[in-house]
Each structure stands twice: as C-alpha cells, then as structure tokens.
Copies of this chain bind each other. A is one copy, B any other.
Amino acid sequence: MEEIITLDYGSGGKKTSQLIEEILLPAFQNDALGALSDGAVLSGEEKLVFSTDSFVVNPLFFPGGNIGKLSVCGTVNDLSVSGGIPKYLSLSFILEEGFPMDSLKKIVASIRDTANSCGVQIVTGDTKVVERGKGDGIYINTAGIGFLRCPGLGTDRIREGDAVLLSGTAGDHSTAVMLARDGLLSEGGVVSDCQPLHLLAQKLFELGPALRVLRDPTRGGIATTLNEFVENGPFTIELEEEAIPVKPAVAGACDILGLDPLYCANEGKLLAIVSADQAQEALARMRSLPEGADAAIIGQVSTKAPGRVLLKTSFGGTRILTKLTGSQLPRIC
C-alpha cells in the first residue's frame, strides 16, 4: 500500500518524530539540526542578511526542478542578491493529508542535494499537516541567513549612464511551469532555469561600488523588477528588446500561452545595474560561469522619463513597460 501523509504526522507526537528521524534528519545531517531542539545555535558574524519565501508552485514537479529545489534556490538567491553569502536555512512544510510519502522523499532529496551544492545547512524546521482539501499536497517555507559580504547594494547607488545586465535568457521558469501545468510537458523542451545564483553574485561582489544593485527577477519578471529599481526616482531604464536573450522555445511557448517573457518569472537569473566603465568586466564575469553563459547587456540608465522603464522594440518604436498588473501566473513559485 502506498504510504501517505496522515494527520498523525502533524501531531507533535510519535509519528512526527518518525517523520523527522526517518526522512528529515538523514537528509540534512548537521550538528545544529541534530540537537533536535526548537531552535538552532549558529556561528554568526558582524552583519547578517535574512530572507524568507513560501513556495506554492503548481505542479510540484516540472522540467528543470521541483518545489524542493525551488525552495532552496529561492532563498539562496534572495540572500545572494542582498549581498550575502548564504549559510543557514530553515525548512517548514505544510503537508496535506493524503500526500504520497514517496513524493515527500523525492522533494526532500532535492532539497538536500540543492542545499549541499550551495554549501548551506538546513538547521531548523517544522512540519504541519492540514486536512484533505485544505492545502494542495505540499507547501514549503524556507528562511535563510547569510553573512554580509557586499554591503551597500541598493537602488540609491544607480547613476545616469549605468548599464543593465541580465545573466541569461528571460522567462524560462514560468514558461516551463505553465507548460507542465497544462500537461504539455514535451512541448519544445522548455526547462525551468531554477538554479542557485550565489556564485554568480559573488563574482559580481568583487566589482565593489561599481555594482549598484542586484535582484533575481522572479514573480512579475524582468519588467516588474526593473520598475522597482527606478519607480519614484529620477532615473529611466531604457531596454533594447533585441538585446534581451530569450530562448526560441520559450518565445514560441509564450506565443502559444499568451505570455510575455518580460513578465515571466525566472528562478535562476540575475539582473544587475553596473557602472558604465565596469559593464564589460561585469559581463565577462557573468559569462565565466555556466549559469551566466548567456549574459547580456540589455539596456542603460538615463533620465529621459523619470521613474519609467522604456523598451525600444525591434521595429524601432518605444513603449513603456509598467509593473505587472493582475495575476499573469498564479502559483508559479
């Protein structure tokens, strides 16, 4: 008989202990977690970065990843774009009664492998179980602590003439998830870009103050993140549509699905604003790593239309890119 999650696993009693001891502890062995107390004791340093995300992606498994890998990458990437070296993660599950134990094991294995590949430790956690129909299989929250290595990143550093860099192709994650959700898994081989970006970020930290601001453009996509960079300020971001890398399969799938890659979530891309004189250096640094192989300079900072993001289209026109309105893609991450 297939093993499934029952409400017992959330009771705090024997079944909860069993879940922790048989599935979670073996996956995430370390001294802090092994103490099995309510909190983890960690070695700290002078300045910390701290971030959290909950993950509700549907479907749970998609080409290029699953909710487990995503839940590690998401927080590792948030810590990285905040100027931190990711160190510790917390991990919390909300499981729906009836969820297959086998799926949980696969997800836990992904979490373990991804955390190991990033050098982060899962040091504390929690598991709750809700009744059938009150969840959707599994929701995951991670929170992360990193040590600050690149202080001062922020939109207040942006200056006229700065370059806008994107570390790779736009829209891969949303498109892969939407195709998987619609059962079109084989459609064109679109794969999520879900990957950790800590090494790519650290390559850029070395640029010092020439690195203005970093962000991973997830929900709302590149268009929304760039708007957040300049909104309510004196600067404009002018993008060159032709310079923005988009995989042909993603462009094709977006056409079919009625999506715009510039508003699609990425889960393995960095947007960076860099001073003009360091733009080529930043580009070379990105391209020196596999996760930045398709990096490109996609635009620059001006004062043409304060607070706006402008797109120079392939046809020679210019249009305003606003923030995402409405919910283009619910439960994409």
Contacts and interface: CB of A to CB of B under 8 A. Distances in A.
Interface in A290-332: 323-331
Interface in A1-42: 6-17, 35-42
A interface: dominant SS: mixed
A135 B330 CA distance: 14
Nearest to A9: B327
A40 B224 CA distance: 20
Contacts of A129: 327, 330
A218 interface: yes
A74 to B, nearest CB: 9
A14 B219 CA distance: 11
Interface residues of A, number: 85
Nearest to A97: B330
Contact of A7 (B42, B81, B124, B330): B330
A131 interface: yes
Interface string A216-242: 101110001000100000000000000
A331 B12 CA distance: 11
Given A8-B326, A220-B13, A327-B11, A126 B53 contact: yes
A39 B81 contact: yes
Contacts of A12: 218-220, 224, 265, 324
B47 A39 contact: no
Contacts of A6: 327
26 contacts: A8-B327, A11-B330, A12-B220, A12-B265, A14-B323, A16-B220, A17-B323, A36-B228, A37-B81, A38-B77, A38-B215, A39-B78, A39-B146, A41-B48, A41-B82, A41-B148, A42-B49, A43-B46, A44-B46, A52-B91, A52-B124, A53-B92, A55-B128, A94-B94, A133-B133, A134-B136
Given A11-B324, A13-B324, A37-B81, 10 more contacts: A8-B326, A11-B219, A11-B220, A38-B82, A43-B46, A48-B48, A50-B123, A52-B143, A55-B128, A130-B139
